[in-house]
Structure 1
Amino acid sequence: MTRGLSGAGGTGGTGTTGGAGLTALVLRHDSAIGLGNLGPTLEAHGYEVVTVDAPSTDVSALDALAPDLVVVLGGDEAAYETDRYPYLADEIRLLEMRVAAEAPIFGVCLGAQLLAKTLGARVYQGPRKEVGWLEVEPTEAGAVSPVRHFAGVPTVQWHGDSFELPDGVERLATSPQYENQAFGIGEWLLAVQFHPEVTDEIHEEWLRAWGDELPEYGLSRERLRDERVAFGPAANAASAALLGEYLEGLAARGAARRSA
């Protein structure tokens, strides 16, 4: 479902509990890179999902603090291409307002890169794309965070940009090719470079759209389809567990704030 949040009053992203008025604003950059299997987990935790297509929406008109949660998805754009894609600059301004208020944000791939840039870190093109079903390794901090659910579980990677770790965040996961795979701040901010959202349908759409580049990385559509069959169920379970634990943390945070 898609509707606007222009000028809406809200809870300031406090992470309230239950099903009363919880809203997750999803910033989408490409219809092929959607919310996927993150959607059912959000809905199971009482969130109404509001999807905004950033390239065709006036992001600057959105009330940054109205939603209880903002989810920023992936895309072909680079976080440093704000001149080419002006809506990315609007997204960064929205994220700046949420960061200042410590209002919950969950970023995926480009979303993680936009968050890194928002937090003052350099985002840049990596030496070689990271593509395929690959494992990430939780750090010591990540082992007690929602990212722990992806320990030993291959997940989809498909990106060529990277970022320096922003000041004031915890690195939660790493990989041999890209050092910063996940980071967070407290219970309210979580960003992952990998793709926990991928469903069978999204996976197949990506293979159709971008599969021609796979041989450059020693891969093929057929191999990735086989790996989806082998690894997909565990990755789906890890995705639900990661997001579910994060949302439970937001609910606990909101409850603690109300009782303070």
Structure 2
Amino acid sequence: MKTALIIRHVPREGVAGFRAPIEAAGYVINRVDVIDHDFHALDLVSPDLVVMMGGPMGVYEREAHPWITCQLKLLARRLAADRPTLGVCFGSQMIAAALGADVYAGPVKEIGFAPVTIRDREGPLRHLAEVPVLHWHGDTFTLPDGAELLASSPLYPHQAFRKGRNVLALQFHAEMGEDERFEDWIAQDMDYLTAAGKCPNELRTDHAAHGPGAVAAGRAMIAEWLAGLAA
């Protein structure tokens, strides 16, 4: 039986809509939180799939979050072994950093539902073409050496990349749109939303309108990516 390990950086950001295609591909899902007392001893190489979700912290905030340095070391070993790895938002930034790229605060906060421009129209991300997906970030990264850029937005050119067939990094949240924890995102990030000039009720309206379509497209993308993993 194949195993998938989900790494949560905060409880409100779980695998959400991606659970269905991961389980349909035959993976048994386990979960770990970075605040678990034995996180530092985690073996990140052995799981058949590792999925790192989002979080409000920045990769560069290592003094405030000492586990970031630990996780980067564990992740670098996994990536060096070319083991299947998916990163979402903060998870994508961690992949970029572990591959030697720079992660830094961007010029603006990108929040809300909007489509991304797909650069690879034959790969798994083609399912997202013209589909509004959720953005909720203010950091970005340089493109790692040897990585292929897959998607961009007008505000952030680096929205998704892959390295080989086994590493996929997504800055946006194609897993979110049907998860009740969206209300927790709003409640926990109210100051963040205010600073970005975003209205919670407008986000709720867009979530209802675009969420199901975003999740359906996201599931199709992940299912195809999993089917194409290198042995």
Please tell me whether residue 68 in structure 1 is matched to residue 48 in structure 2.
yes
CA distance in 2, matches of 1:230, 1:183: 27
Query: C-alpha distance in 1, partners of 2:180/2:9?
Result: 17
Kept in 1: contact 2:3–2:27 (CA 8 A): yes
User: Aligned runs of 1:1-260 on 2, under 5 Å?
Assistant: 21-139=1-119, 142-198=120-176, 199-250=178-229, 253-254=230-231
Does the 8 A contact of 1:58 with 1:87 survive in 2?
no
Superimposed CA distance per residue, residues 174-228 of structure 1 (whole angstroms, 9 cap, x where no aligned partner): 0010110000012100000001221331222212222354344443121111111
Task: Provide runs of 4+ in structure 1 moved above 6 Å.
Answer: none
Unmatched tracts of structure 1, length 5 or more: 1-20, 255-260
The verdict on how the C-alpha distance between 1:57 and 1:180 changes in structure 2, with shifts beyond 3 A counting, is: farther
State the Cα deviation string for residues 30-75 of structure 1 (Å, max 9, x = none): 1111111111221111111110001224333112221001101101
Higher helix share: 1
How far apart, in 1, do the equivalents of 2:35 and 2:60 lie? 16
Q: Distance in 2 between matches of 1:230 and 1:157?
A: 15
Distance 2:33 2:192 in 1: 26
> What is the number of equivalent residue pairs in this alignment?
230
2:228 maps to amino acid: G
Q: Return the TM-score normalized by structure 1.
A: 0.85
SS at match of 1:75: coil
Secondary structure at the counterpart of residue 16 of structure 2: coil
Structure whose alpha-carbon radius of gyration is higher: 1
Please tell me the root mean square deviation across aligned C-alpha atoms, in Å. Answer: 1.3
Q: Which runs of 5+ in 2 are unaligned?
A: none
Using a 3 Å threshold, how does the CA distance of structure 1 residues 45 and 57 change in structure 2: closer, same or farther?
Answer: farther
Percent identity, please: 43
